[in-house]
Structures are given as structure tokens and as C-alpha cells.
Amino acid sequence: MNFSKTALALSSAIGARDFIESVEGLELDDILGVIGLERARGPLARLLPAIGLVAVSAAVGAGAALLLAPSSGPKLRARLSDGLEDAKHRLSDTISQFEHKAPGRHAVS
């Protein structure tokens, strides 16, 4: 058997394995980035950050309005406490509605 042919075949097999391992982690975005292109973002990918920004802005505005509203300390604390309790109840109701709508999914304990 020819040693040089065996060595060449073995190095080719090792090189092919290394090549496959390096290519295995590549995604389409990586390849497009190499040639200077990118995928167009879908409408949901553009809409979700805007909705999140509006929600955060509304929460900050509501908090500022509560803190700057002319009322005494005990009244303000009572209103904040009532508002937090109401938000907790609405959140738990929403979660239970999602659990009932998604059959086959189990609640996380």
C-alpha cells in the first residue's frame, strides 16, 4: 500500500470532518452578512419593540402622574396599593385564560 495515498486520504477525511464541524454552526444570516446582505425583518419583528416601548412609556407616565398628583402620603400609598392589587388580579386572570386556551400545556409549578 502506498503511504502517501493513505496519508492524503486520512488528511482529507480529517479536513472534511473539521470543515463540517465549522460549517455546522453557520446560519443564513452569517452567510448573508459575509456578502453584505441581510434578511428583511417581518412586520411582527418591527411591531413588538414599538409595543414594548409604548407600554414602558405608559407605565413610567402613570407612575410619574401618581407621584406628582396633589394628595397626602397615606392616600397616595393606599391608591398605589389598590392599583398594585388590581394589577396582580388582572395578571393572574390573564394567565389563567391563557392556560385554559392552550390545551396540552401544563402550568409551571
Contact 76, 66 (CB under 8 A): yes
pTM of the entire predicted model: 0.37
Q: Are 35 and 46 in contact (CB under 8 A)?
A: no
* Helix (H), strand (E) at residue 49: helix 43-68
Task: Please tell me what DSSP assigns to residue 70.
Answer: S
The predicted pLDDT at position 60 comes to 92
Instruction: Give the pLDDT score at 109.
Output: 46
Contact 39, 28 (CB under 8 A): yes
Q: Which helix (H) or strand (E) covers residue 15, if one does? A: helix 3-24
pLDDT above 70 covers a percentage of the chain that reads 76
- Mean pLDDT, residues 44-62: 90
State the pLDDT confidence band at 71, using cuts at 50, 70 and 90: confident
Q: What does the pLDDT read at residue 3?
A: 62
